[in-house]
Structure 1
């Protein structure tokens, strides 16, 4: 069944993959984006009569009220993403990541579907050896994590919503980001051949950007069975420490050398392992492994050699 879909922030890292996928399935997609990174990531879909784009701010309530009138599905991707960017603009982070989503949740009718990405960084620091499930307490340790957790509360206060708690995302996209952990480490392996690790034992979960897009499409296709719930979205075989991630990269970039720093701290204190059993029980299975993603990134970094593809 084809729907009218509004994607805020649809020209960003995830949107630049998700929007073409939605269009390929016959949905009519409207993107609202402020194009703050001067990105042209949706050029390839402008030919499609089912695609429309609005340059604007997701915090503009009057604009949102107009846009949602004809929408069946709303996917609010617009956000300031990552701890460094959020620390640089705290007001923008709160008003974009939380307040705009709270306002949107109140505007939508019960018949309209809302699918929201947050982050499993909301788990903060987990218990050693214990998997974080959707029932685990949320304890965000950054402004980014806090605003996303608060946005999720608003989203799930309405019955016609799904929240996806995304693992650390990796992989190539038309609006690329080099500051994400896997993308960053592979870039350093390819370009610098070396990396210094701080607190290398810290663990987290990972997921390919195309599997994230697939999770949203799965949520739309199975909305009645999945609505009203939060779902972790990650690779169940990729709960890895930073040291283990570097070892996996080294298998494909043999000249890559990494050292563990005896002193110093990583400003990102996330450390947890995550269970993805809940979404897997709905029939969703990722298709892109960590090793495939590393191979993709190694190939892609032959084409780019600067850091303009970053939120930092």
Structure 2
């Protein structure tokens, strides 16, 4: 059944992969974005009759009230993403990542649905050898993690919502980001052939950007049985440390050298392994492996070399 989907922040890294997918499935999509990075990442879909785009701010109540009126589903992607960017603009982080989502829940009826992305950095520092499940305590350390956890609480209290706790996303997008861990490490391997690691034993989970889009489609199509819950979304065979990730990259980039430094720290302090059993039990499985993603990034980096592809 065709639905009208409102995607805030839809011209960003996730949105520019997700929006064409929704359109291909026959849905009507409206994107709201402030285009703060000067991106033209939705050029490929502007001719689609079911696509509409608005320049504006997801924090503006009058704008949101007008746009949600006709929406069956809202995907609130608008956010300041990543600990460094959030630390640099703390007021913008709280008002965009949390307050705009709280406002959204008050504007929507119980019949209107929310598909919400948050980050599994909300788990903070996990227990050694113990998988983080959706029942594990949320102990975010950074402002980014805290703001997204608080947003998740608001949408789940709304009731007609699914929250996706995303692993670290990798892969190419029309609005590329080089500051994400896998994307960054592969870029350095290709361009510099060298990388200095800190906290190299810290583990985290990973997921391809197209599999994030697939998870949202899965939630849309299975909403009646999945709503009201949070789901980890990641590759179950990719709970890897930074050191282990570098070794995987080295297999495809001969001559890549990486060294361990005694200083430096992760602002999110992400160190955990994650179980994705809950969403897999609903029938969702990722299509793209970490190694496939690394190969894709290597090819892509033969085309781009520009620091504008970053959030920091």
Q: TM-score range, shorter-chain basis?
A: over 0.9
- Show the counterpart of 2:70: 70
SS of 2:69's partner is helix
Confirm whether residue 25 of structure 1 aligns to residue 29 of structure 2: no
Please list, as runs of the form range in 1=range in 2, the aligned pairs for 1:98-177 lying within 5 A after superposition: 98-177=98-177
> By how many angstroms is 1:158 displaced?
1.7
Mapping of 1:18-97 within 5 angstroms? 18-97=18-97
Task: Give the match's secondary structure for 1:252.
Answer: coil
Deviations, residues 98-133 of structure 1 (Å, cap 9, x unaligned)? 000000011111111100000000000000000000
Report the Cα distance in structure 2 between the residues aligned to 1:83 and 1:161, rounded to whole angstroms: 25
Q: 3-state DSSP class of the match of 2:251?
A: helix
Structure 1 CA distance for aligned equivalents of residues 170 and 263 of structure 2: 28
In 1, the alpha carbon distance for the partners of 2:15 and 2:253 equals 29
Q: What is the deviation of 1:35?
A: 0.2
TM superposition shift of 1:172: 0.1
SS at match of 2:157: coil
Corresponding residue number in structure 2 for 1:197: 197
Structure-2 residue corresponding to 1:284: 284
Query: What's the counterpart of residue 260 of structure 2?
Result: 260
Q: Shift in Å at residue 266 of structure 1?
A: 3.6
Q: Describe the superposition over 1:259-302 as per-residue Cα deviations: whole angstroms up to 9, x where unpaired.
A: 01134434341100000000000000000000000000000000
Give the alignment's Cα RMSD to 1 decimal. 0.7
Partner secondary structure for residue 213 of structure 1: helix
In structure 2, the residue matched to 1:248 is 248
| TM-score for the superposition, normalised by structure 1 | 0.99
Determine the structure 1 residue equivalent to 2:188: 188
Question: 1:301 corresponds to which residue?
Answer: 301
- Distance in 2 between the 1:276 and 1:8 partners? 26
Residues paired across the two proteins, number:
312
Structure 2 equivalent of residue 216 of structure 1: 216
Contact 2:126 2:272 in 1 (8 A): yes
Counterpart of 2:196 in 1: which secondary structure? strand
Q: Which ranges of structure 2 fall in alignment gaps of 5 or more residues?
A: none
Partner Cα separation in structure 2 for residue 96 and residue 80 of structure 1: 7
1:47 and 1:183 map into 2 onto residues whose CA distance is 30
Unaligned runs of 5+ in 1: none
Which residue in the other structure is 2:235 paired with? 235
Q: Using the TM superposition, give the Cα deviation of residue 159 of structure 1 relative to its aligned residue in structure 2, in angstroms.
A: 1.7
* Structure 1 residue ranges (4+ consecutive) displaced by more than 2 angstroms after TM superposition: 262-268
CA distance in 2, matches of 1:105, 1:288: 33
What's the secondary structure of 2:236's corresponding residue?
A: coil
Measure the CA separation in 1 of the matches of 2:192 and 2:61. Answer: 45
Moved more, 259-268 or 24-33: 259-268
Counterpart-to-counterpart distance in 2, 1:41 and 1:184: 20
